[in-house]
Each structure stands twice: as C-alpha cells, then as structure tokens.
Amino acid sequence: MTKIEKEAILMIADISGYTKFMVSNQMDLVHAQVIINELITTIIKQVKIPLEISKLEGDAVFFFAEKTDEPGRWEIIKREIGQRLIKFFEVFTDKVNELSESNTCRCSACTNVDKLNLKIIVHSGTALSYRIDKFSELSGVDVIIAHKLLKNSVRSDRYILITEKAFNLIKFPKNVRFEKSKENYEEIGGVGTYIYFPGGDDNLDHGYAAYSYKVKNMAIKMMLPLLIRFGIKKLKRFNNIPELSP
C-alpha cells in the first residue's frame, strides 16, 4: 500500500435534510432514494478537473483539489474552485426545481423534494493519499477537521462554511460576500471560519418543466420498484466511486 502526502483543498458537498427526508419517507423509500440519487449525480457531474472525487458518503460527496507547484497554474485553479463552489448551488437548485415541477406522484417523498438543500464545507491542509485494493482514500488530521465541520453552529441548511486557511487560498467571485465566524470543538479547539449564504430563491425558475422530463420522471418512479422487486436492478449505495458503475 503506497501512501503519498499531498497539500490539497478539501471539500464536502452535503445534502441538508437528508436524514429527516429518508426517515420521514420510509413508506416511499424507493422514490426517496431515486430523488437522492438524482441530486447526488447532479453534484458529481460538477466535480470536474481540477476537482477530484475522493469518496461518496451517503448524502455527501467528498472531493478535493491537489496543490500544484506551478504558481501560474495554481492561481488559475484557485479561481476555478471559487467559481465552481458557487455553481454547485445553482445546479442543485435547478435539479430540485426540475424534480418538483415535473412531479406527477403525490407520495410523501415526491411532494417534499423542496425540503432538501445543499451545504458545502471547505478546508485546506495536508492529506495522506493511499489506495486499498481498487479504492483511493484520503486521511489525516485535516481530513478529520473537514468532516468535523459538518456538525457546526450555522443555523441554515444552505451555505458554504470555509476555514480561514482555505479562504485565504480560494479566489471567489467579487460579488460573493462572506461573514467571519468561528467553530469550537472539544477535540481540536477553535476553528476560524467564514460563511457564505447563497440566496434561497435566486436561481429558482418556477415555470413548468418540459413535458418529456415529466414523462421520464413518471416512468422511472413507476418502473423502478418493479425492477428492484424482481432483482433486475439494485439501488446505488453511494459508498464509494466504484459503486457508481452500472
């Protein structure tokens, strides 16, 4: 097992309201999982170079950008990361809106899609990269800190929480305004942070979704329970990248 130490910006895109959504919709579990799969896939599609996925964690995507020794290239990457992090909220909101507007099912899961939101945690530091069998893993104190920050004092379900260390690296668009804050943890002490709250309805388009998507959405929800029941298809577990392959 080869281990490589690397400097990286660490990011976690987490679906807010996931646990309550799944627990509240146990009777409509298949439809609930279809919705979560759609949202996770939407996030994954935005993780492009220079970003790289490390792991899928149920309701979250853990990804990173490795620091390069080329100063000019690193400046470009830091700017790209800032733009990409803001873009996550736009595409997530568009997908929630699309699922909600195209919905033809009245089950609890399908009628509560709009209760789901997105929060993003950003930290930077040293990570130990290694492979176990076919899986690529990241570990280390800074990876732990990034995950600790998922449990925080922010009273919102839609935000970017970024540590001072990462904030001083990433170049966000000029119109993005952050508030200074601090999180405290028994094991690691105080962590200086900044918070950005995207507008809740800034990107919502309340027009009707395309008829073709409505038909597709209805067909998926009608056929999937039967395919699962007869063992033809299994729900994606989203534990790690290899699980994504059909």
Residue for token pair 């279809």: 34
Ranges in the chain, pLDDT < 70 = 1-2, 25-27, 134-135, 200-246
Do 35 and 142 touch, CB atoms closer than 8 A?
no
pLDDT given at position 143: 96
Q: Which long-range contacts link 44-50 to residues 24+ away (Cβ below 8 Å)?
A: 44/244, 45/91, 46/84, 46/87, 46/88, 46/91, 48/84, 50/77, 50/80, 50/81
Say how far apart CA 194 and CA 65 lie, in whole Å: 19
Q: Per the confidence metrics, is the pTM higher than 0.85?
A: no
> Tens digit of pLDDT for each residue in 191-225?
999 999 997 443 333 333 444 444 555 555 566 56
pLDDT given at position 222: 61
When divided into structural domains, the chain yields a total of 1
Q: Comparing C-alpha atoms, which of 91, 89, 117, 99 is closest to residue 31?
A: 99
Do 222 and 185 touch, CB atoms closer than 8 A?
no
Q: What CATH number is associated with residue 219?
A: 3.30.70.1230
Enter the tokens of residue 64.
């990173």
Write out the H or E segment, with its range, that includes residue 90.
helix 71-101
> Tens digit of pLDDT for each residue in 169-198?
999 999 999 999 999 999 899 999 999 999
Hey, is 185 helix, strand or coil? Answer: strand
Cβ-Cβ contacts under 8 Å for 36 (sequence gap 6 or more): 15, 18, 21, 22, 59
Domain that holds residue 38: 3-244
Say how far apart CA 59 and CA 109 lie, in whole Å: 16
Do 7 and 66 touch, CB atoms closer than 8 A?
yes
pLDDT given at position 25: 66
Residue 84 Cα distances to 63, 89, 91, 163, 187, angstroms: 12, 9, 10, 17, 31
Say how far apart CA 16 and CA 155 lie, in whole Å: 12
DSSP 210: P
pLDDT given at position 228: 53
Say how far apart CA 67 and CA 125 lie, in whole Å: 10
pLDDT given at position 32: 84
Q: Strand pairing partners for 124?
A: 9
Enter the tokens of residue 244.
């994504």
Say how far apart CA 166 and CA 161 lie, in whole Å: 10
CA dihedral 95, 91, 122, 12 (to 10 degrees): 40
